[in-house]
């Protein structure tokens, strides 16, 4: 049904393959637009966006450590530091 397709990255101009598997994944997720950037440029863009993300000061609800989170803490809602967050998710 799907076939590999050559696309050109709008950032760097390199050709890249939009594989049949990726196309199937896009369809399953309801994504209708083809990627405009090659995997390398997509990765760079995500990393750059993360660096510019606003961080908020918070106190971990579990261990009491000072931490920073990428969302504005809501009073009464639990907030975890990275270590406690990871421990919570391992238990699930």
Q: Which residues contact 19 (CB under 8 A, 6 or more apart)?
A: 4
Together in a domain, 40 and 74:
no
Same domain, yes or no: 42 and 65: no
Number of domain units in the chain: 2
Domain that holds residue 35: 5-51
User: What six digits make up the tokens of 25?
Assistant: 């994944």
Q: In this predicted model, what pLDDT tens digit does every residue of 11-70 receive, in sequence order?
A: 999 999 999 999 999 999 999 999 999 999 999 999 887 777 888 999 999 999 999 998
Regarding whether 46 and 9 lie in a shared domain, the answer is yes
The reply to whether 38 and 63 lie within a common domain is no
Q: What is the DSSP letter of 63?
A: T
- 4 pLDDT exceeds 90? yes
């Amino acid at each position: 049904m799907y076939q590999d397709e050559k696309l050109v990255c709008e950032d760097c101009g390199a050709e890249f393959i939009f594989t049949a598997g990726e196309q199937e994944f896009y369809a399953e997720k309801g994504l209708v637009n083809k990627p405009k950037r090659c995997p390398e440029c997509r990765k760079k863009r995500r990393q750059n966006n993360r660096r510019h993300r606003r961080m908020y000061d918070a106190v971990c609800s579990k261990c009491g450590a000072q931490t920073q989170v990428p969302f504005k803490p809501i009073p009464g809602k639990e907030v975890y530091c990275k270590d406690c967050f990871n421990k919570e998710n391992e238990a699930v």
